[in-house]
Structure 1
Amino acid sequence: MIQQSFGGDWTEEKLNRVRKYLVAYSTIMSKYKFRYAYIDAFAGTGYRELKEDDEASTLMLPELVDQESKKLFDGSARIALQTKPRFTKYIFIEKDESKIAELNKLKAEFTTLADDITIIQSDANMYINELCAKNWKTNRAVLFLDPFGMQVPWSTITSIARTEAIDLWYLFPIGIAVNRLLKKDGNIKPSIRRRLDEVFGTPEWYETFYSIRTEKDLFGNYSFPEKTANFQVIANYFVERLKSVFEGVAENPLLLVNSQNSPLYLLCFASANKKGAPTAIKIAQHILKK
């Protein structure tokens, strides 16, 4: 079952849970000889901020941006740098040049960590796939995927899982994008269906989210597709998709809602490391509880 965060500061709710996990993770990993990194794939400026002129490039449907997502919060990048015990390395990925300049300021602020902070100006999916293709035998990482919309294809998720070394926190756009694209009558444009196929990694979502309904009129019986999926069904389906590639997946992802109780995102956790997954899942599921 999905957990639900009711009302208000959903961004802060999300980051508080990630913060708790980073502390637990770094405490455990500091006792081993692995090099372990924090990777932020959509690092932004180190703060959670969405400007008006960013909307078209960051979201598939700009009009779906919730007003509350434009508030300013301590970002995941800054939270990672504040975590103690510290990580061995910090990798912040951002495509926008102006945000890269802001991220570079973190080196001046966190001077003792500066040599271990790597800031990459790149498309997040492209860089993650390149990074995941490297040898992870002596390396571990926590990767935070926090896109504003549907920018993460399933191919990126599978690349992360194949490392057998990365713990993933993924803010899945269940309400702000996915559910809104699932038309009640099933009449979804081919381009939108292809985008949803990319996000889920399969076209089979349609059969799960829709059923064929039969009714009778003056001319006889006729059939048509009808959406039967609610947020719980969509969440369950995505968790099962994660299970198909990861060693362990938290069974209780957190549904983040706004002050009107409208679902926005689903905070999911998955672990790629066979040996570490049981402990990681136990910690993450406890943190995800209400």
Structure 2
Amino acid sequence: MNIQTFGGDWTENKLVKLRKYLVAYATIMKDYNFKYAYIDAFAGTGYRTGKESEETDILIFPELINQESNKLFDGSARIALQVEPKFDQYIFIEKDENKVYELNKLKTEFTNMADRVTIINSDANIYIKDICSKNWKSHRSVLFLDPFGMQVPWATIECIAKTEAIDLWYLFPVGVAINRLLKKDGNIDEVIRKRLDETFGTTDWYDRFYQITNQIDLFGTYSITEKTADYKLICEYFIERLETVFAGVAKNPLLLCNSRNTPLYLLCFAAANKKGAKTAIKIAQDILKK
């Protein structure tokens, strides 16, 4: 597992790596007889700022996010549209109507590509499940999952893998949510535990992250539950989960940290297509290690 260097711009880091992969992917795919698309599942406005101000819920911890400036930078949607060679189609999914309004401005800015851009005002999980259920025989795609927290259930991940046609880049919320919810004594609220079950697609995570030991005192034997999982173990476990459904998974995911060196996300890559997985993983692992 790679770890981003202290003080680096984690947002810039993830987007640089995404751009590099999109360039490599489009360069290869233009010589094949496939229609290929870029899908951005949490597209936002197309821009990003140095100061994060996205919506939050009880599973998001905004104090972990790097807040250093309000300057506008290109977000993943705009970066994808700038990539050469071009993709056949760009699908930007966004639930917030105000952000959809901003995304639509991209069609005006990139007028020569407006007919390739589709903007979907929908819940990302609903739309992804719908599009993944279609016939992918002559289609391929790169899908970027960049949620604010635990908005992506395992059922969505499974749908992506079943297409056998999608390359997935996923910012897994290992620091902004998962690790913070794993209480040291293992006494996790039932609602939170169910959310973790849905995120990992199994209940086995509890046995991997906690150890139960028997202790003896004057009154007899009693049990103690202790958290044994650190960031490394949680990350390794999630990569193992991805390997249960995808044809190939990058072995060197990147742990992204903020300027205080607090882990936020794990940048993962997985390939669904058996024939193309070897090449895709080779390219992704090379990008992740640089």
TM over 0.5: yes
* Structure 2 counterpart of 1:270: 270
Report 1:12-23 matches (<5 A): 12-23=12-23
Structure 2 residue identity aligned to 1:68:
N
- 2:224 match: secondary structure: strand
Q: Say what the alpha-carbon RMSD is for the aligned residues.
A: 1.4
- 2:265 match: secondary structure: strand
- 1:259 match: secondary structure: coil
**Alpha-carbon offset, residue 224 of structure 1:** 1.7
**Alpha-carbon offset, residue 61 of structure 1:** 2.7
Listed one character per residue, the Cα deviations across residues 106-137 of structure 1 (whole Å, up to 9, x for unaligned) are 00111111001000000000000000000000
- The separation in 2 between residues aligned to 1:93 and 1:65, in whole angstroms, is 26
- 2:21 match: secondary structure: helix
- 1:225 match: secondary structure: strand
* Structure 2 counterpart of 1:104: 104
Q: Which moved more, 1:142-151 or 1:60-69?
A: 60-69
Structure 2 residue identity aligned to 1:4:
I
- Give yes or no for the alignment of 1:222 onto 2:211: no
- 2:91 match: secondary structure: strand
Report 1:59-74 matches (<5 A): 59-68=57-66, 72-74=72-74
- Give yes or no for the alignment of 1:5 onto 2:4: yes
Contact 1:41/1:93, CA 8 A, preserved across alignment: yes
**Alpha-carbon offset, residue 214 of structure 1:** 2.6
Report 1:188-207 matches (<5 A): 188-207=188-207
Contact 1:40/1:77, CA 8 A, preserved across alignment: yes
- Give yes or no for the alignment of 1:42 onto 2:42: yes
- The separation in 2 between residues aligned to 1:20 and 1:178, in whole angstroms, is 28
- Give yes or no for the alignment of 1:133 onto 2:140: no
- The separation in 1 between residues aligned to 2:115 and 2:249, in whole angstroms, is 33
- 1:275 match: secondary structure: helix
* Structure 1 counterpart of 2:145: 145
- The separation in 2 between residues aligned to 1:167 and 1:10, in whole angstroms, is 22
- The separation in 2 between residues aligned to 1:29 and 1:282, in whole angstroms, is 16
TM-score (norm 1): 0.95
**Alpha-carbon offset, residue 181 of structure 1:** 0.3
Listed one character per residue, the Cα deviations across residues 199-236 of structure 1 (whole Å, up to 9, x for unaligned) are 00001100000011233333233112110011111111
- The separation in 2 between residues aligned to 1:226 and 1:35, in whole angstroms, is 50
For structure 1, the 5+ residue unaligned runs are none
- 1:192 match: secondary structure: helix
Structure 2 residue identity aligned to 1:27:
T
* Structure 2 counterpart of 1:261: 261
**Alpha-carbon offset, residue 51 of structure 1:** 6.2
* Structure 2 counterpart of 1:83: 83
Listed one character per residue, the Cα deviations across residues 13-36 of structure 1 (whole Å, up to 9, x for unaligned) are 111111100000000001111000
- The separation in 2 between residues aligned to 1:193 and 1:90, in whole angstroms, is 36
- 1:276 match: secondary structure: helix
- The separation in 1 between residues aligned to 2:226 and 2:73, in whole angstroms, is 40
TM-score (norm 2): 0.95
- 1:39 match: secondary structure: strand
Distance 1:24 1:51, change over 3 A: closer
Structure 1 residue identity aligned to 2:39:
I
- The separation in 2 between residues aligned to 1:43 and 1:219, in whole angstroms, is 58
Contact 2:60/2:149, CA 8 A, preserved across alignment: no
Contact 1:46/1:74, CA 8 A, preserved across alignment: yes
- The separation in 2 between residues aligned to 1:124 and 1:141, in whole angstroms, is 16
Contact 1:253/1:267, CA 8 A, preserved across alignment: yes
- 1:197 match: secondary structure: helix
- The separation in 2 between residues aligned to 1:82 and 1:196, in whole angstroms, is 36
* Structure 2 counterpart of 1:121: 121
